[in-house]
Amino acid sequence: MSLALAPLDLNVEIEANLPCRKFDPDLWFSDSPTDLDVAKTLCGDCPLRVECLAGAVERAEPWGVWGGEIFERGAVVPRKRPRGRPRKEDLARDAALRVEAEARLAANGLATSRNAVRLAA
């Protein structure tokens, strides 16, 4: 008696090893800036990071971490701010992080101008 085996689906095997599948999904949609930074870090080694980011940009994802970037209201933001009025040094750091996020998007071929991808101010 022989058993017929279905062909191995490599996509299932790859998906099982993705950080967003191995860890708590709430981490990628947290309200905590620290949790979102952890999620961004976990996305760094993901083999589907670029495709995930491109899909999120195309769909204008309303929120969460996609492809190692934080989305808020359909725009890429350099970091999630805690509630309340930001400090002056936080505003300066946000400006520097915004430039860094634009560079990462451009490096992945996702944005060459501000019209291609909306970056939150």
Per-residue pLDDT of the chain (121 residues; tens, 9 = 90+): 444 444 444 454 556 678 888 889 899 999 888 899 999 999 988 989 999 999 999 999 999 999 999 998 888 887 776 667 767 777 777 788 788 888 888 887 776 444 445 555 5
pLDDT of residue 80: 75
33 labelled binding-site residue: no
3 is in an annotated binding site: no
Q: Could you say which DSSP state residue 119 is in?
A: B
85, 49 contact by CB (below 8 A): no
116 is in an annotated binding site: no
What pLDDT, on a 0 to 100 scale, did the predictor assign at position 74? 86
The pLDDT, as a whole number, for residue 13 is: 57
Which residues, other chains included, contact 71 with Cβ-Cβ below 8 Å and sequence gap of 6+?
56, 61, 62, 63, 64, 65, 77
Amino acid 67: pLDDT? 93
Residues 6+ apart with CB under 8 A from 21: 15
Task: Tell whether pTM > 0.85.
Answer: no
Q: Alpha carbon of 64 to those of 28, 30, 33, 56, 88: distances in Å?
A: 5, 7, 11, 10, 25
pLDDT of residue 3: 44
The CA distance from 83 to 86, in Å, is: 8
Confidence at residue 8, expressed as pLDDT on a 0 to 100 scale: 43
For residue 17, say whether it is annotated as part of any ligand binding site. no
Which run of H or E residues covers position 51? helix 49-59
